[in-house]
Structures are given as C-alpha cells and as structure tokens.
Amino acid sequence: MKTFPILIPSVSKDDKACMKTFGRYFNAVELDLPYSGVKPDLHLRRELVAFHSLVKDSGMGIYSVHLRGLDLSNHDKKDASSSVALCNQLGTIISPKLVVVHPGRGHINDLLSNLEFLLERTDPGIQIAFENLSGSRPILRSSETLREFVELLDEFPERVGVCIDTSHINEDPYTESLIAHIDAASSRLIHLHLSDWAGTGKKHLPIGSGVIDWRQVKEHLSATGYQGKAAIEIRSEGNRKDDMIRSACRYYGCSANDLNHRNEITRMAGTLKTVERDEIIATATEMYAMPASMAKLIAFPSSAHVEEGEHYKYFVVPSKSFSPNHPDPYLSLSGDNTNLGWAEFLFGFHEVSGKIHIVLIDKKQRIAVEALMFNIYDKKQEYNWTRMEDAIKASLEALKRYPQADHTECTFGQPEVIEKSDPQAW
C-alpha cells in the first residue's frame, strides 16, 4: 500500500492574504520565522498572536515553525539561549508540534552541547528537527555526515530528529543523493521540506519545475512508510500561493478539486470508517427513495469514507472503479438537508429552476465537448425520478457521439468553464 506525507504550505507572517485560500486545500501550515539573533520581544509576541488567530480562523493550525538562520553550533551559546526563549514563547502562543532548526557550520561538539541545553529548557512535547544545509561546509552537508549525526542522536530522546530539505543536496547525481539522505535519516526522519532545484543556482522552485525525479522520491518515501508532514517551501518569483497549491497537486497527482477533497478527509481523520458500495447505494435509496433502476445508471465507487456524527456524511473518493460511461457522483452524500451534499449536487435538489447540466468531458484534450440541460422537476416544483432517469439515459446516448469524451459529470446551474491551460483544474 502506498503512503504519502501530509503536505502543508510554508508561510511567513506576510502571507496573511493567502490564508483563506490555503484553508481550502490544507489543514495546517508551517511558519517560516527568520531568526534575527535577538531574544523575542513584545512586538513579536503581538505579531504571533495575530497570525495564529488568522490561521485558526482559516480552519488550519500551525503545525511547525522553521527558525531559518538559527546556528546551533555557535560556541558562546548566544543562539542556543535565544532559541530557548523563542521556543518557549512559540510554545505558549501557538503550540507547534515541531520546530526546524539549522545545525550550522561550526563544530559538532558545540552543536551537541547546545542541543542538550535546548532540550533541558524547552517543552518536551515539541519535536526538534535538524535540517540538512547547502553552501559552504555545513555540519549536515552530505548523506554520510547525516548518517554519522543520526548515530550520535542515539544518546538523545526520540523528539530529536532530521528534516530533509530536497533543495539542499550538495552531491550528484541529485535524485540518487536525495534518496541517500532519506536513507541516512532512517527512523529519525520526522519532517520534510519539499521544493525543486533548477540544477544550477535557483533552489526552492515549484515541484516539477526542476531536476528532481519525483516519481523515484515518492516511491522511496512510500517504501519507508513515512506518513508525517511535509512543508512545501517555495521561494520562486511570481505567485507563491498558486505555486504551492500546484506543487501539492503535482506531488499527489491530483487536481485542485481533489486536493480540496483530500483536505476534507484529512480534517476528519480518526472519525472515519470505510463502507462498501452496497451500503452507499442502500443509504441513497432509503434517504432519497431512489428507484433500483436509477441506482444502476450511476457509477457508485467501490468504497467510501463515512463520518459518524449528528448526520451521516459519505465522502466519495476518486476510484478506478468509476465507469467512464456513467455519471460520476463525485462529492458527498449528506443526511443533513440544510447542507449541500452529494445527492443534492448530483440530482439538483437545491436548484430552484429544476434544471441540471450533464457535462461530457474529454480530459485528454481538456475540453467540455457538450453540456446538456434537463428539467427534472414537475409543475409543482417537485422532484421527478423519471425525468432524472430520462436525463441520464439521454446523456449516455449523447456520449456515443463523442468517442473522445471519457468523463461525464452532473452539475446544477451553469457548468463551470475550465480553461484548457489551467492544469490545476484538471
């Protein structure tokens, strides 16, 4: 079974305008907090409180903090003392699960001494992750130095580990060396910073725009069983928000809509159970008095996730069991009639005009070849199953005229126009 890390965006305090958008696609963020070399003050505290409130209002949490620029190999313990004060302030205000620090470019003995100093004075519930660095001879500069460092961590608690930054590899061939770093980190791999590298110069590019073979990296990470968090750390020119969403889509191999859906599943982790196709059909039939003939026309998935609460919600995940020649019921089935759920979306229950669209899509060409509109209500504005069946049968018949169309969707209102050049939407 393939496993994937849970992706989160790396954001700064200046990314306030992006939070609501990120809240649609992610359940947490990493705060990139450049280290200034001074102890925290009241001004920083106010900024952190305001930013934490904004993140929470967007439906997310701050999972980790990246103290970028902190050098824990400083002999005079200046940075170690400041990091203790900063970690304690972070713990009080935002309670991160993990803090990423830099091992620096000093001596390994000073690093280990400062690590002991840090662990003795900070919350034992916060994990400390040392990041591999590029440039002029950092302590963690190769897979071999990383392996030696991990061996030294045997003397330290498990909350100390390694963060692999995919843009900080100093050896060639690049992808193979990156995989060697993952192996060297072994069981101490507790975090990831994901981005691409141009091959020369530019680092922290959007995933898929550089030299890294992501297929190999993903397969290797899956083989290790890593299922922790991975921060998408993009510093490219242009729209960082879109670059991070696009990078997550490329990593997962999904559309932006699928990424949003995956986020909803992740939010409910721990409250879900898996149900099979027969139970999904039985629930839809009972809840909406769906005729058996109608159920045969719809491509229900082989399984789905269900959350038990005040109302049942079936979140239907994309499945290879979908037939291309059936309407694809891709949303959620909800027992709460006040919310728009899968059945309402598919059958148009909340469309006042009583009209639905069935869209025939050619995914390879990235075009909608035809949008068919049907009236599925009678004169009393009551839903009519017979009209719905006739609409689906008519759309399936129309599909025969378009052999290139490989996807059929039901929607209500006007179908959304998707630009062919927009890879996120596909």
- Domains of the chain (ranges, CATH numbers): 6-254 (3.20.20.150), 272-425 (no CATH)
Lowest mean pLDDT among 37-46, 94-103, 208-217, 402-411: 402-411
Distance CA 95, CA 321 (A): 42
Distance CA 146, CA 108 (A): 12
9-18 pLDDT per residue, tens = 999 998 998 9
Averaged pLDDT for residues 315-338: 36
**Of 290 and 25, the one with more pLDDT:** 25
Half-sphere exposure of 225 (CA within 13 A, CB side): 3
Averaged pLDDT for residues 364-372: 58
Structure tokens at 283: 């629930």
- Among the listed residues 244, 266, 265, 268, the one whose alpha carbon sits nearest the alpha carbon of residue 256: 244
- Among the listed residues 413, 349, 333, the one whose alpha carbon sits nearest the alpha carbon of residue 385: 349
- Whether 230 shows a pLDDT value over 70: the answer reads yes
CB 130 within 8 A of CB 166: no
Taking the mean position of all CA atoms in its chain, how far away is CA 9?
A: 8
The secondary structure element, H or E, covering residue 68 is strand 61-71
- List the beta bridge partners of residue 370: 360
Query: Scanning the structure block, which residue is given the tokens 């690049």?
Result: 174
Distance CA 410, CA 346 (A): 5
- Whether 113 shows a pLDDT value over 80: the answer reads yes
Q: How many residues does the chain have?
A: 426
**Of 402 and 417, the one with more pLDDT:** 402
Q: What is the mean pLDDT of the chain?
A: 76
Residue 316 DSSP SS3: coil
Half-sphere exposure of 306 (CA within 13 A, CB side): 17
Which pLDDT belongs to residue 160? 97
160-218 pLDDT per residue, tens = 999 999 999 988 899 999 999 999 999 999 999 999 998 877 889 999 989 999 999 99
The secondary structure element, H or E, covering residue 346 is helix 342-347
- pLDDT confidence tier of residue 339, bands split at 50, 70 and 90: very low
- pLDDT confidence tier of residue 38, bands split at 50, 70 and 90: low
Averaged pLDDT for residues 104-116: 91
Coarse DSSP helix, strand, coil percentages of the chain, rounded to the nearest 5 percent: 40, 20, 40
Distance CA 222, CA 421 (A): 31
Distance CA 361, CA 369 (A): 6
Taking the mean position of all CA atoms in its chain, how far away is CA 257?
A: 12
For residue 75, the tally of other CB atoms under 10 A from its CB is: 13
Which pLDDT belongs to residue 369? 61
Distance CA 148, CA 126 (A): 24
Beta strands in 166-201 (DSSP E): 189-194
- Whether 343 shows a pLDDT value over 60: the answer reads no
Which pLDDT belongs to residue 383? 64
CB 217 within 8 A of CB 175: yes
